[in-house]
Amino acid sequence: MFFSNWFGPSLTRLPPGNRVALTFDDGPSETTPYVLDLLAEYNARATFFLVGMNCHRLPDVARRVIAEGHEIGNHTWSHANFYRCAPWQVRAEIERGQQAIEDTLGRRPQWFRPPFGVRWFGMFPALDRLGMRCALWSLDTCDWRDPADAIVERGAGAQAGDVLLLHDGFRTHVGNNRKETVAALGRLLAQFRDRGLEMVTLAPAAPAK
C-alpha cells in the first residue's frame, strides 16, 4: 500500500499517522550543520541520504547527523545517474556508497534513494543483496532549483503521511550552496509544528531487520 512498483517496490509515503518525514539528499556538505541546528531547534527528526564521497570528505558532519538522532540512507558513492550506467556500475555505486558510510559511521543504512529518482537495471537486485529498500518521496519541494518563498509554498502543501524531498548538499560539489533550503526550512518547521504534525524519520515505515 505504501510502496509503488516500477521494476520493484519503493516507499513513497509513511504509514497512517499525523506525521511527515523530511528527507535531505546529497549531504553531508557545508550546509548540513545549519540544517541540523534548525531540526534541533524544533525537535524534529529527519532522514539524510548520504553520498559516499561526501562522507569521506566531511566525516565529522556525517557523524553529527547520527549523533543527533537522525536516520541515514545511501545515495550512492558519487551521485551517479543510473540512466547512463550498466547494471554492474549501478551495483558498484550502491556497494561503494554503503562501504563509505559504514567506514565513516560504523552503521549500514537500510534505505537507499537513487540520484534523480532514477530506478534502473541492476538497482533492485543490488538492494536485495544488501537487504536494503528503496525510498522515494511523495512531495518534491524543488529546493534544488527554487528560491525560499517557492520552497515554502510547495512544502506547506504537505499532508499527514507525506515524505518531503529536500537537499542539504548539491551532488558532490564543495561548499555551502543550499542557503535557500535553509531559509525555507525554518519557516516550514514552524508551520508543521503549529499544525501539530510530528516530524519523523522513515523508521515508522522501516522493513523488519
Return the active site residues: 25, 167
Helix (H) or strand (E) segment spanning residue 73:
strand 71-74
Judged by beta carbon, residue 28 or residue 115, the one nearer Zn ion is 115
Judged by beta carbon, residue 52 or residue 115, the one nearer Zn ion is 115
Q: What is the smallest separation between the CB atom of 162 and Zn ion, expressed in angstroms?
A: 19
C-alpha to C-alpha distances, 55 to 22, 89, 202, nearest whole angstrom:
20, 20, 20
Query: What is the four-CA torsion angle of 81, 87, 90, 91, rounded to 10 degrees?
Result: 180
Judged by beta carbon, residue 133 or residue 178, the one nearer Zn ion is 178
- Nearest residue to the partner Zn ion, using Cβ: 25
Q: Shortest CA distance to 21 belongs to which of 67, 64, 71?
A: 71
Q: What is the smallest separation between the CB atom of 53 and Zn ion, expressed in angstroms?
A: 12
Judged by beta carbon, residue 26 or residue 143, the one nearer Zn ion is 26
Q: Grid coordinates representing 162?
A: 507525506
Q: What is the smallest separation between the CB atom of 164 and Zn ion, expressed in angstroms?
A: 14
* CA atoms within a 13 Å half-sphere pointing along the CA-CB vector of 201: 17
Q: Rule CB under 5 A: which residues touch Zn ion?
A: 25-26, 115
Q: Grid coordinates representing 55?
A: 562522507
CA–CA dist 99, 103 (Å, integer) = 6
